[in-house]
Structure 1
Amino acid sequence: MPELREMMVDQLKDAFSAEKQAIQALRRAMRKASEPQLKQGLEAHIAQSEEQRDRVEQALDKLGARPGRKVCEAMRGLAEEAQHELEEYEKGPVLDLVIVAAQQRIEHYEIAAYGTMVELSKAMGETEIADLLAKTLDEEKAQDGLLTEVTRSAILPAALEMEQAA
């Protein structure tokens, strides 16, 4: 099992880097958002992501590892793409939609990563790690749902109204 353990440590280091980058992306997005529900949701998700980053560190600790300097290249790409998109639109409903789209791409990446890590840690008999990561996986899925809900209830109607007025 040393190879699986090594893979798990590598995945956790990647997740730690991803959470750090996601927090930075969330902060940038929050500054640009105009819909109050979206701003509140992003702010709450920053705090939640900080807890998630800490959970990943706890999981690494349980495996006798440290986060190190590994950079999650996938999250780097998602964050850079989001940053470029933030610069292309004026503040308002359309930019809010761009923010949601970028955040949901990030959430979906995290859901995939945590889903794999939960199953791997269960298979390895690392139930404490599986429980830590399953909590994060549930939070990521819930955040994705919240983003969809605020889009449906507030952002899309405002964007459509703006489009019709133009």
Structure 2
Amino acid sequence: MHDLPLIAARCWIGRQAGVRSLAPLGSARSLVAVAFLQKPPAIQKPIRLLHSRYGAGPCGLVRNMLRWEMSMGAEAQRTAARPKRIHERNRPRRTTMAEAGTLHDAFIEELKDTYNAEKQLTKALPKLAKASSNPRLRQAFETHLEETQGHIARLEQVFESLEEKVRGKHCDGIAGIIEEGKSIMAEDFDETTMDACLIAAGQRAEHYEMAAYGTLVAWAQAMGHTEAVTLLQQTLDEEKAADKKLSGLAEGGINQTAADAAHPDDEDDETMAGAGAGRKGAATARTARR
């Protein structure tokens, strides 16, 4: 019976010794004998060297020769493969036109980002409303929360119109703005100052969304997505209206009240200056009558 190592050994010795077929030979001893009888220089020297080094008999000698051949072959394969792997790793990646992203792909990614931003705002707006002391400001945040829920529904319609799966991608931009808002609410400000800061936090979010929806509308128009344009434009108009409402509240008294609370001495000086001017005018009038 010939096992696999023995067959491999026969083939190797046969190649070196020039024997075309060693299949009839059934033992390692016969293989070594054939090799010595042929006496080719290519195999005579390795056999003597291995025999003197390892002190192996004929069977052990064949096994040692086989191990040596296999180890040299494996090392040669590793050496040949290593430069190839390095070469492939350092080779610049070729991007074909089919693999490159398009404006449509960027549009879908922006939709996902904005969808997630609106989702995050539905959790942030109730906190802004709760922290507000001005009733009109609180109502503005609550109203915009309802609008934001409608924005989410519109974005889902946009996805469906494009036959895309409704899915969000975490929006780092709005997450940072919301985190800033949380830091503001943690401050120990007086009520009016807190309202002024909450308006600033709300408008940061509005401006971010206005920029996002403005981009989406422009891209949708360029690609001819008419249904998407209509839906996105409605949301953009509502974001602008919400921002304008917050500006009106700030300029309608909240900012000035907070400023007066921050500089009460300036207000007293103005009152005293007005009273002094009144007394001086009265004195001037009495002098004129004389």
Give TM-score, length-normalised by structure 2: 0.54
Choose between structure 1 and 2 for higher RCO, CA contacts under 8 A separated by at least 6 residues: 1
1:102-129 CA-to-partner distances (Å, cap 9, x unmatched) read 1111111111110010010011110110
> Cα distance, 1:68 vs. partner?
2.4
1:42 to 113, 137, 141: 141
1:87-144 CA-to-partner distances (Å, cap 9, x unmatched) read 1134611111111111111111111110010010011110110010011111111111
Structure 1 unpaired stretches of 5+: none
Structure 2 Cα separation of the partners of residues 89 and 108 of structure 1: 26
Does the aligned pair in 2 maintain the 1:34–1:91 contact within 8 Å? no
Which position in structure 2 is the counterpart of 1:63?
162
Tell me: CA distance 1:64–1:35, structure 2 relative to 1, closer, same or farther (3 Å). Answer: same
Structure 2 Cα separation of the partners of residues 37 and 159 of structure 1: 16
- Where do 1:98-117 residues align within 5 Å? 98-117=197-216
Does the aligned pair in 1 maintain the 2:107–2:216 contact within 8 Å? yes
> Cα distance, 1:5 vs. partner?
1.8
> Cα distance, 1:81 vs. partner?
1.0
Give TM-score, length-normalised by structure 1: 0.93
> Cα distance, 1:66 vs. partner?
2.7
Structure 1 residue ranges (4+ consecutive) displaced by more than 3 angstroms after TM superposition: none
- Where do 1:72-91 residues align within 5 Å? 72-90=171-189
Which position in structure 1 is the counterpart of 2:37?
none
Structure 2 unpaired stretches of 5+: 1-100, 266-290
Tell me: CA distance 1:17–1:96, structure 2 relative to 1, closer, same or farther (3 Å). Answer: same
Structure 2 Cα separation of the partners of residues 114 and 75 of structure 1: 13
> Cα distance, 1:165 vs. partner?
4.5
The answer to whether residue 221 in structure 2 is matched with residue 122 in structure 1 is: yes
Which position in structure 1 is the counterpart of 2:38?
none
Does the aligned pair in 1 maintain the 2:210–2:240 contact within 8 Å? yes
1:20 to 119, 127, 136: 119
> Cα distance, 1:162 vs. partner?
2.5
Q: CA RMSD in A?
A: 1.6
Tell me: CA distance 1:137–1:72, structure 2 relative to 1, closer, same or farther (3 Å). Answer: same
Does the aligned pair in 1 maintain the 2:133–2:191 contact within 8 Å? yes
* Number of residue-to-residue matches in the alignment: 165
Higher mean displacement: 19-28 or 92-101:
19-28
Structure 2 Cα separation of the partners of residues 66 and 165 of structure 1: 57
Does the aligned pair in 2 maintain the 1:114–1:133 contact within 8 Å? yes
Which position in structure 1 is the counterpart of 2:268?
none
2:233 to 134, 145, 148: 134
Does the aligned pair in 2 maintain the 1:14–1:70 contact within 8 Å? yes
Question: 1:89 corresponds to which letter in structure 2?
Answer: D
